[in-house]
Amino acid sequence: MTIAVLEALKGNGHTWSYGYDLSRVTGLKSGTLYPILTRLHDEGWLENKWEQAVEPGRPPRHLYRLTAVGSSAASRAVKTAASKAGPRRPAYD
């Protein structure tokens, strides 16, 4: 699951991502996603910030992006996970 989050963040380059968007891309529910994001932040792989709502009555939104350290570590983690999974097989109809 962490690998899916790292892949989604790497796919965004160094742009900021909303937690909701990461949830949609990875298919992870908030109870799984946000603890992963918190752990990655605590380890120094992510930076985060709050964005104030544009519309009145809407709550602020949390944004995330990989740090330089996180980007390098994510690349290694994704590569390691891919090598452990072995070659992907083609899908057949």
Structural domains present in the chain: 2-81 (1.10.10.10)
| pLDDT score at 54 | 85
Dihedral angle computed from the Cα positions of residues 16, 19, 25 and 26, in that order, rounded to the nearest 10 degrees: 120
Residue 4 clears pLDDT 80, i.e. is over it: yes
| pLDDT score at 91 | 55
Q: What pTM value is reported for the model?
A: 0.82
List residues bridging with 63 in a β-sheet.
Answer: 18, 49
Which tokens go with 79? 């590569």
Cα-based angle 43, 46, 48 (whole degrees, multiple of 5): 120
Which sign does the torsion angle of CA 83, 91, 12, 7 carry? negative
* Per-residue model confidence as pLDDT tens digits over 24-81: 999 999 999 999 999 999 999 999 999 998 888 988 899 999 999 999 999 999 888 8
